[in-house]
Amino acid sequence: MELTCLLVKPDGVADAHIGEIVAKVEREGFTVRGLRLLVLTRSHAEAFYAIHHGRPFFEDLVEYMTGGPIVALALEREDAVSHLRTVIGATNPAEAAEGTIRALYGRDIGTNTVHGSDSVENGIREALFFFSERELAESGTVI
């Protein structure tokens, strides 16, 4: 079993897609091990996206991610990280495969509805960013 982190970004929450996104990942065989609605502070958003610090879109990304509530999920499945990336689709919704979350709901390359972890290591790191080890263990997480 593998753990990954899915975020419904502020546009996904504002456009009322939380339920459809959770239903889709459950249909794809993911088990929800953590689920929380919250507003990121600037310092939390900067820490979460630290890898992108200095990139031209970093400021806009932090502004966007702190602009309204998000929903954080810890999801478990075999091959969770790569399968979630497939379900999410390409970063730019215009290039995302048909039926993926970003193709269905994304507005543009910056405002693209969801985040998904990009490696097994980051899946664990990002799940632990939003949920404690105790919460994940009590929800039945296998890792």
State the DSSP string of 79-124: THHHHHHHHH--SSGGGSPTTSHHHHH--SSS--SEEE-SSHHHHH
49 touches Mg ion (CB under 5 A): no
Residue among 86 and 91 whose Cβ is closer to ligand UDP: 91
Residue among 91 and 132 whose Cβ is closer to ligand UDP: 91
Residue among 5 and 25 whose Cβ is closer to Mg ion: 5
Selection from ligand UDP, Mg ion, none that 110 binds (CB < 5 to 8 A by kind) is ligand UDP
To the query of whether residue 83 is one of the catalytic residues in this protein, the response is no
Q: Are strands 31-38 and 114-116 parallel, antiparallel or unpaired?
A: unpaired
Alpha-carbon gap, residue 30 to 82, rounded angstroms = 12
Q: For residue 5, what are the β-bridge partners?
A: 74
Alpha-carbon gap, residue 10 to 65, rounded angstroms = 6
Judge contact between 132 and 36, C-beta under 8 A.
Answer: no
Q: Which chain residues interact with ligand UDP by CB under 6 A?
A: 52, 57, 61, 91, 109-110, 112, 115, 118
Site string for Mg ion, 95-124 (x = CB under 5 A): -----------------------x------
Question: Looking at 17, 52, 83, 115, which residue is catalytic?
Answer: 115
Residues forming contacts to Mg ion in the complex (CB under 5 A) are 118
Catalytic machinery residues: 115
